[in-house]
């Protein structure tokens, strides 16, 4: 067994279920707060979920980090993206300077951003980008596998390692983003392989394509699946044949977050496909996932349904990068604030007997 396989195996086998006793206690505590039953909706659900992750009724999420996995994709040579590969490296660097959509939001809210190179092809100079490069971009999935099985395993192991480092750094809430030109194509191929849904039904326009390029993108994904024949029951087989280093490493972060009992926010389309990969490897990790916004990519809700998750924001966003994470972090923080600071009926000097009939329903 290789070191990467061992890391993945140990991670999966150490993921535990949520603390359902703590979740029940959180629900009971919420019922004492000065409000009609369930009136804070999803904030109460999130508060209960956080309790299940930590085992505590009252929690904080003081240190928040967005891990952004960056890699290039060989399928770009098929004309499936409006942007050149060089944009991957440029934006990875710009993220460290807080100049991109995601990173300027993260800076505003005081969130950490960790930019990680797992497969950037273009040369760049930026010490602030963490170098975990496995190879300089993947191969063209129309012609054969994106990478070797070992390389996909190494990428997953990198993600697991990053989540472990976050735990050591005292991070209490994680977000998972990406930067990789062409990765809406690879993520759609992965989603189609895992779910059996035709690329025709789940392919979106990514960063923007002409009608002609969009039609070609669908055909490219169909061809890649036909050429590689990924095994839908084997996530690593799917990732190494039609995925990307960014998606594989993101999958590892989701697994590692669950292993370390850290709540982890899903961003948009590529992020939720990576979360689905993690879920297929260990179904228990889904309890640690917090969706953020509904991506405009048409495959997003297919993946969300597979995970039985419903995003709580719909801002018509489709940027990626992890841009939904800083916004979702604020909502998670709000859910914790309710648990920590809201008065009970007793503290508010309110006789709650008027709610008895409602509670019995």
Q: What is the pLDDT of residues 327-360, one digit of tens each?
A: 999 999 999 999 999 999 999 999 888 877 776 7
Please give the torsion angle defined by the CA atoms of residues 99, 152, 274 and 224, in that order, rounded to the nearest 10 degrees.
Answer: 100
What 8-state DSSP symbol labels residue 35? S
Q: What is the pLDDT of residues 39-79, one digit of tens each?
A: 999 999 999 999 999 999 999 999 999 999 999 999 999 98
Q: What mean pLDDT do residues 114-125 have?
A: 98
- N-terminal to C-terminal alpha carbon distance within the chain: 55
Q: What are phi and psi of 338, to 5 degrees?
A: -60, -45
Please say whether the beta carbons of 260 and 166 come within 8 A: yes
Q: How far is CA 64 from CA 57, 88, 264, 293, in A?
A: 19, 24, 10, 18
* pLDDT classification of 212: cutoffs 50, 70, 90: confident
Packed helices 183-195 and 211-228: angle between N→C axes, nearest 10 degrees: 50
User: In a 3-state reduction of DSSP, which class is residue 33?
Assistant: strand
Q: What are phi and psi of 287, to 5 degrees?
A: -65, -15
pLDDT for position 81? 86
Question: pTM to 2 decimals?
Answer: 0.96
Kindly name the residue from 151, 172, 321, 333 that is annotated as catalytic: 321
User: In a 3-state reduction of DSSP, which class is residue 324?
Assistant: helix
- Residue 78 is a catalytic residue: no
pLDDT for position 205? 76
The Cα 35–Cα 184 span in angstroms is: 43
pLDDT tops 90 at residue 95: yes
* pLDDT classification of 231: cutoffs 50, 70, 90: very high
The Cα 70–Cα 116 span in angstroms is: 6
pLDDT for position 215? 87
pLDDT tops 80 at residue 253: yes
User: In a 3-state reduction of DSSP, which class is residue 63?
Assistant: coil
* pLDDT classification of 1: cutoffs 50, 70, 90: confident
């Amino acid at each position: 067994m290789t070191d990467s396989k061992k890391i993945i195996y140990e991670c999966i086998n150490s993921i535990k279920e949520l603390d359902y006793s703590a979740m029940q206690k959180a629900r009971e505590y919420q019922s004492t707060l000065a409000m009609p039953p369930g009136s804070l909706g999803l904030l109460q659900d999130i508060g209960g979920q956080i309790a299940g992750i930590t085992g505590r009724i009252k929690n904080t999420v003081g240190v928040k980090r967005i891990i952004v996995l960056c890699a290039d994709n060989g399928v770009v040579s098929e004309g499936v993206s409006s942007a050149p590969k060089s944009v991957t490296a440029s934006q990875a660097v710009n993220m460290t300077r807080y100049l991109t959509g995601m990173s300027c939001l993260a800076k505003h809210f005081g969130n950490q951003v960790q930019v990680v190179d797992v497969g950037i092809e273009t040369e760049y100079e930026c010490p602030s980008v963490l170098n975990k490069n496995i190879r300089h971009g993947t191969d063209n999935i129309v012609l054969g596998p994106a990478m070797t099985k070992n390389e996909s395993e190494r990428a997953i192991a990198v993600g697991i390692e990053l989540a472990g480092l976050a735990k050591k750094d005292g991070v209490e809430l994680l977000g998972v983003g990406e930067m990789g030109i062409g990765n809406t194509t690879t993520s759609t191929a992965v989603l189609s392989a895992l779910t059996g849904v035709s690329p025709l039904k789940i392919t979106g326009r990514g960063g923007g394509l002409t009608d002609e390029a969009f039609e070609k993108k669908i055909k490219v994904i169909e061809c890649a699946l036909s050429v590689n024949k990924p095994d839908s029951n084997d996530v690593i087989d799917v990732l190494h044949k039609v995925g990307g280093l960014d998606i594989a490493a993101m999958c590892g972060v989701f697994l590692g977050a669950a292993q370390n009992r850290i709540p982890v926010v899903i961003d948009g389309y590529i992020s939720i496909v990576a979360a689905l990969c993690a879920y297929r490897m260990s179904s228990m990790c889904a309890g640690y996932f917090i969706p953020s916004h509904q991506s405009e990519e048409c495959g997003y809700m297919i993946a969300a349904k597979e995970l039985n998750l419903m995003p709580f924001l719909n801002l018509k966003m489709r940027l990626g990068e992890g841009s939904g994470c800083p916004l979702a972090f604020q909502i998670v923080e709000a859910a914790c604030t309710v648990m920590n600071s809201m008065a009970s009926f007793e503290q508010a000097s309110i006789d709650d007997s008027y709610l008895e009939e409602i509670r019995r329903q």
